[in-house]
Amino acid sequence: MKERKGILLTQDFDLAIQPVRNADGKIIRGLLIGDTADQDAVIVLKLHQGDLKEDALVGVGLTKYLRSKLDLIMTIIRNV
């Protein structure tokens, strides 16, 4: 699979920044660039349909799915 290069994000989906300064103390670079395939997949799994304005059909809504399954399991456990 071809590497997808882009701006990397932290675990909290903030920009991954590591400032590098020159001899004068000025920041010369800072955004981390790398393979974004895994983070792109995580973002799509977390998105719900309609969350992304540019493509409203993108999104799995995995967190909602997992929460609903957990609620079902907890209901079954309570009734046993």
> Environment class of residue 48 by beta-carbon count within 10 Å: exposed (0-12), middle (13-18) or buried (19+)?
middle
The count of structural domains within the chain is 2
- Are 5 and 26 contained in the same domain? yes
- Are 6 and 31 contained in the same domain? yes
Beta-strand pair 33-35/27-31: unpaired
Better-predicted residue by pLDDT, 19 or 75: 19
pLDDT for 28 beyond 70: yes
The pLDDT assigned to 26 comes to: 94
Residue 67: enclosing H or E segment and its boundaries?
helix 62-79
Full DSSP string of 16-36: -EEEEE-TTS-EEEEE-EEE-
Any idea which of 25-29, 32-36, 56-60 has the lowest mean pLDDT?
56-60
User: Residue 74 corresponds to which tokens in the numbers above?
Assistant: 């907890």
- Are 1 and 22 contained in the same domain? yes
pLDDT for 12 beyond 70: yes
